[in-house]
Amino acid sequence: METLYLIFIDPFVQMAIEPAFLAEVLIGGLMSGVMYSLVALGFVLIFKASGIFNFAQGVFVLFAALNFVGLMDLGVHPILAFIITLGIMTALAFAVDRLVLRPLVNQNPIILFMATIGIAFFLEGFGESIWGGDVRPVRVGIPDTALFWETGFGEILVLSSDLFAGVIAAFLVTVLALFFHFTPVGRALRAVADDHQAALSVGIPLNNIWVIVWAVAGFVALVAGIMWGAKLGVQFALSTIALKALPVLILGGFTSIPGAIIGGLIVGAGEKLFENYWGLPLLGGATEEWFAYIVAMIFLFFRPQGLFGEKIIERV
């Protein structure tokens, strides 16, 4: 009885008593969700265009952040460092296409997946041997002050860096959506995602498209890396945190950009809410680590294509 009360009634009573705390938890959750979304976005881009599940996307985030921070520590201006890192990620996209994807073209998806695991370990080691294994703080001038927001039901604390991350993510997603829908290259990317053969038949060069997609994924990884880095410092745990993108993808659907965003927000907000209202009182906390994976598993049972997965068009 006691337990049932704690599960089904008490959390909601708490929420009603202290709405300001609820709002804080929710906002904090949504903001970390934005970070998951950014990483998930990189996965979706590559998966959509080439059907490859790029296990290395998490390491891309780390690698991009390492390069960016490394360059900045050498005294390079942040904007210049950003541009150079973007160049490095583009070069990486070329290298992946030439050295890994082309020789393996037409192979099973599982073989390509294994190849991306290889890329992941290589990049992680390569990044460490160049830049070292220390945790490095990112100082790009993102203000990190606590803002107090006065509302009718109490004071809410919001971190300005969280707000900043939210704005950047929203901006990035808008730019990507415009790119995909209103440029010839974006249209070609979607065409390739739909039907490789047909894309080839109208003369869309698949290899160029893949390089573009990997480069865009590298760009997204760079933005995500800077954001994560600003929050936690650039450290090797980033590539593991980035794997949280997996449950996000299962939730949102592997082929949907809005799905990646909303999935990220749900996972971020959900795990914070669960931790604060159920995890701490009932289980003593540390539920954030696994909550997302349990939700993902439940989703796999009932809606395997995710919330926004590609509609399976069936003509009757």
Partner 1 sequence: MNEAVRNELEVNNVEVIYDHVILVLKGVSLHVPKGGIVALLGANGAGKTTTLKAVSNLLRAERGEVTKGAILYRGERVDALTPTDLVRKGVIQVMEGRHCFEHLTVEENLLTGAYTRTARRAEIHDDLDAVYGYFPALKSRRRSLAGYISGGEQQMCAIGRALMSKPQTILLDEPSMGLAPQLVEQIFEIVKRINEEENVSILLAEQNTNMALKYAHYGYILENGRIVMDGDAAVLRENEDVKEFYLGISSTGRKSYRDIKFYRRRKRWV
CB 171, min distance to partner 1, A: 25
Q: Which residues pair with 155 in a beta bridge?
A: 150
Is there binding between residue 109 and partner 1 (CB under 8 A)?
no
Indicate the helix (H) or strand (E) that contains 154: strand 154-159
For 163, list phi and psi in degrees, rounded to 5: -60, -45
Contacts of 80 (CB under 8 A, 6+ apart): 71
Is there binding between residue 108 and partner 1 (CB under 8 A)?
no
For 46, list phi and psi in degrees, rounded to 5: -70, -40
x/- mask, partner 1, residues 294-313, rule CB under 8 A, reads ----------------xx-x
CB 308, min distance to partner 1, A: 13
Nearer of residues 187 and 231 to partner 1, judged by Cβ? 187
CB 94, min distance to partner 1, A: 18
Is there binding between residue 52 and partner 1 (CB under 8 A)?
no
Q: What is the CA radius of gyration of the chain?
A: 21
Buried b or exposed e, range 41-54, using 16+ CB within 10 angstroms? bbbbbbbbbbebbb
Is there binding between residue 103 and partner 1 (CB under 8 A)?
no
The count of chain residues that interact with partner 1, using the rule CB under 8 A, is 25
Is there binding between residue 49 and partner 1 (CB under 8 A)?
no
Structure tokens at 78: 């942040």
275 DSSP assignment: I
Nearer of residues 55 and 308 to partner 1, judged by Cβ? 308
Is there binding between residue 141 and partner 1 (CB under 8 A)?
no
d(CA 262, CA 256): 10
d(CA 233, CA 246): 22
161-220 residues in contact with partner 1 (CB under 8 A) are: 184, 187-188, 190-191, 193-206
Residues binding partner 1 (CB under 8 A): 105-106, 184, 187-188, 190-191, 193-206, 310-311, 313, 315
